[in-house]
Amino acid sequence: MKTKALQILRSSERGHANHGWLDSYHSFSFAHYYNPEQMGFRSLRVINQDVIRGGEGFDTHPHRDMEIFTYMLSGAMEHKDSMGNQGVIRPGQIQMMSAGSGVTHSEFNASLTEDASLLQIWIMPARQGLEPSYTEWTPTEEQLGANKSLIISPDGREQSAIIHQDAYVYRIQLETGEALTHFLAEGRGAWVQLVKGELIVNDSEIFSGDAAFTEEAGGLRLTAREPVEALLFDLK
């Protein structure tokens, strides 16, 4: 999926799979959903919006050569991996795992009764065969109220989680009428995934589950029509 001018991927245009215990929407081709026009965007390969039933989850399974992070929307998820990491993440937090040369992990809803909702996102690493690693990100007091927070970067600046790719991921939080501008450098691409609310990206309006993406350098203007939560990816 490649473009210069701003384009929109509507929530209704995503792939969908409901397995009972897992209800998932796929922005890009994934598992049994295949669309040759939606194979990824630059190094961004997977954005799955998942709702996982209480007491359910993903049994232990392997990954390699992929940067994988989970962004919680509601509920709580428990993670265990072959590196010895174990923890529970909640809304606003992320877990970042570099699968590298190979790792196994499991993810389960930490509640037996309440659903958990999350975004699972895969970004291809700049190099293969890296040593696997794992980090968690929790916003500071300052970041809790910030309209734009860096949550993932290649160098860990601003207390962000580290990714092995030239990729910067920001959490956007805007109140009604608030706006900000993100500058996209020449030769890079931006993907805005709207988690909730209504947002105008330049002159295009998007709604919960929609995405806006572009490879056109310059200012990307985000204006909230109602309270907004979004992820903004700035990718080489």
| Residue range 33-60, pLDDT digits in tens | 999 999 999 999 999 999 999 999 999 9
Residue 3 has pLDDT above 80, yes or no: no
Tell me if 9 is assigned to some domain. no
CA dist., res. 118 & res. 120, Å (int): 6
CA dist., res. 132 & res. 96, Å (int): 11
pTM above 0.85, yes or no: yes
Domain boundary residue, one of 71, 105, 137: 137
Contact 227, 31 (CB under 8 A): no
**CA 62 to chain CA centroid, nearest Å:** 20
| Residue range 106-145, pLDDT digits in tens | 999 999 999 999 999 999 999 999 999 999 999 998 899 8
Mean pLDDT of all residues in 138-166: 95
CA dist., res. 86 & res. 79, Å (int): 5
The residue with tokens 């990714």 is 163
Query: CA nearest 120: which of 61, 77, 163, 155?
Result: 77
Tell me if 3 is assigned to some domain. no
Q: How many domains does the chain have?
A: 2
> What pLDDT is stored for residue 4 in this prediction?
78
Tell me if 8 is assigned to some domain. no
Residues 57 and 31 in one domain: yes
Structure confidence at residue 92 as a pLDDT band (50, 70, 90): confident
Mean pLDDT of all residues in 14-32: 97
Residues 46 and 96 in one domain: yes
68 Cβ partners below 8 Å, 6+ apart? 96, 97, 98, 99, 120, 121, 122
Query: CA nearest 224: which of 192, 179, 183, 170?
Result: 179
Report in angstroms the alpha-carbon separations of 236 from 32, 66, 154, 187. Answer: 28, 16, 12, 7
Residue 1 has pLDDT above 60, yes or no: no
Report in angstroms the alpha-carbon separations of 42 from 1, 25, 94, 147, 159. Answer: 8, 20, 22, 25, 25
Domain that holds residue 68: 14-137
**CA 90 to chain CA centroid, nearest Å:** 15
What rounded mean pLDDT belongs to the chain?
Answer: 96
The CATH number given to whatever domain includes residue 147 is 2.60.120.10
